[in-house]
Amino acid sequence: DGGITQSPKYLFRKEGQNVTLSCEQNLNHDAMYWYRQDPGQGLRLIYYSQIVNDFQKGDIAEGYSVSREKKESFPLTVTSAQKNPTAFYLCASSIRDSYNEQFFGPGTRLTVL
Amino acid sequence: AQSVTQLDSQVPVFEEAPVELRCNYSSSVSVYLFWYVQYPNQGLQLLLKYLSGSTLVKGINGFEAEFNKSQTSFHLRKPSVHISDTAEYFCAVMPPRGGSEKLVFGKGTKLTVNP
């Protein structure tokens, strides 16, 4: 089955540690996205990539970093510079230059202790 | 820049009652409009979208939405809800071709269907 996988589903880290969230898709989509979801805030775009080896900052990129070395993979690193990292993180993908559906993964809930 | 306002953060209804979830957007240009649903601790799933053409759009699970350009609204409706419709619903807009192709989401409406 085609889709997007995110791992792990739950992640706990100590304050000051960097952590990397995994996102893999087998939909052959060029574009991939990372969103952060906080209660009552909707989804906010962190980073997006429309092609391998290229990515752009979204609205709340500070304290995050990404890489896009393979079409299928778009990992997100939450660095110690992110002041309030506890949140639900969603990865999505879509056909490039398409105004149609973004497909979402199941999400990773990150809790920083 | 585009923005989306979902007027109700929570909407409680009884099973088999009709429901309307309201969405207004602000944009100086034409936009594409979407409704997504999120069940607890899951990702988002597309319910329906408006790109052009008929202003009444039908989606999955019996939902429909009407695009009203003069009122800049895209309200979501269902004539008879089920317990299984309990979820959070997000309205989103995307700028037209030539823009950044980024979705801008509203803050969501939590629909609770009670027996």
Question: For residue B115, what pLDDT is reported?
Answer: 95
Band of the pLDDT at A100, cuts 50, 70, 90?
low
CB-based contacts of B6, cutoff 8 Å, min separation 6: B21, B22, B23, B89, B90, B91, B106, B107, B108, B109
Question: For residue B101, what pLDDT is reported?
Answer: 63
pLDDT in tens, B53-69: 888 999 999 999 999 99
Question: How far, in whole angstroms, is CA B14 from its chain's centroid?
Answer: 20
Question: How far, in whole angstroms, is CA A3 from its chain's centroid?
Answer: 15
Output Rg (C-alpha) for chain A, integer angstroms: 13
| Cβ-nearest to A40 among B9, B41, B103 | B9
- Is residue B87 a contact partner of residue B10, using CB atoms and an 8 Å limit? no
- Is residue A2 a contact partner of residue A26, using CB atoms and an 8 Å limit? yes
Band of the pLDDT at B51, cuts 50, 70, 90?
confident
- B20-49 residues touching A, CB cutoff 8 A: 32, 36, 41-46, 49
Give yes or no for B60 touching A (CB within 8 A): no
Q: Does residue A29 register a pLDDT over 60?
A: yes
| Cβ-nearest to A90 among B9, B44, B108 | B44
What spatial distance separates the first Cα and last Cα of chain B, rounded to whole Å?
A: 41
3-state secondary structure of B4: strand
List, in sequence order, every residue forming a beta bridge with B49; answer none if it has no partner.
Answer: B34
Strands B10-14 and A108-112: unpaired
Question: For residue B41, what pLDDT is reported?
Answer: 83
Angle at B104 between CA B96 and CA B91, to 5 degrees: 100
pLDDT in tens, B8-25: 999 999 999 999 999 999
